[in-house]
A and B are shown apart, each in its own frame.
Chain A
Amino acid sequence: QKEVEQNSGPLSVPEGAIASLNCTYSDRGSQSFFWYRQYSGKSPELIMFIYSNGDKEDGRFTAQLNKASQYVSLLIRDSQPSDSATYLCAVKTPGGSYIPTFGRGTSLIVHP
């Protein structure tokens, strides 16, 4: 059973701080990793994807992947109250079915 684990939170950070969200996965063969943001009552929105070890930056967001340790993280710099949402980690393994496995999400609260 493939598992993707996230701390449910809530993670509370002050405005302007760095928010660090973590995700671990059980299938060592996983190769594609995705972060989605979901506001309450809304649909998930893809914000980052990463395939290679290391860091990938996009604006205030940085995804970090460490396949040896089987974790992927999302850093949000200069956090804003509008970043308050649930962040979902998703993992896909190549071959066979194309079913991505989602974590249950981490709730982030950015307070002014």
Chain B
Amino acid sequence: EAQVTQNPRYLITVTGKKLTVTCSQNMNHEYMSWYRQDPGLGLRQIYYSMNVEVTDKGDVPEGYKVSRKEKRNFPLILESPSPNQTSLYFCASSLSFLGGPTEAFFGQGTRLTVV
């Protein structure tokens, strides 16, 4: 089954404790990205990657890091989480990003709470 898998689904952590949210896709997609979704603000892109070892900032990259060492994986790293990073996070992937669908597949989401 074609899917994007995020882990964990729910996470409560404390300020300053480094964490990683994993994202893996099994569709051989080149394009992957991370979003956060906040009430009243909609979906905002954090980082995206057009292929292995190629990443770039989205609209709200501050406080986040990513890496793309393999085509299937695109982890999101919060080196020192703060309460304002409490949000619902989505990973997404797409086979085509020029003239084709945007993020055709989203992961299930990770609800992060930083206290």
Using a CB–CB cutoff of 8 Å, the interface residues on chain A facing chain B are 32, 34, 42-46, 49, 51, 88, 90, 92, 94, 97-100, 102-105
Q: Give CA–CA (A92, B103) in the complex, Å.
A: 11
Main SS at interface, chain B: loop
Q: How many whole Å from B41's CB to the nearest CB in chain A?
A: 7
Q: How many residues of B contact A (CB 8 A)?
A: 25
Q: Name the B residues within 8 Å of A98 (CB-CB).
A: 31, 48, 50, 97
Given contacts A44-B103, A46-B104, A100-B103, 17 further A-B contacts (CB under 8 A): A32-B99, A32-B102, A42-B109, A43-B90, A43-B107, A43-B109, A45-B106, A46-B101, A98-B31, A98-B48, A98-B50, A99-B48, A99-B58, A99-B59, A100-B45, A102-B42, A105-B42
Q: Beyond A97-B56, A98-B97, A99-B59, is A34–B107 a contact (Cβ under 8 Å)?
A: no
B43 within 8 A of A: yes
Q: Give CA–CA (A99, B59) in the complex, Å.
A: 8
Q: Name the B residues within 8 Å of A103 (CB-CB).
A: 42
Q: Name the A residues within 8 Å of B107 (CB-CB).
A: 43
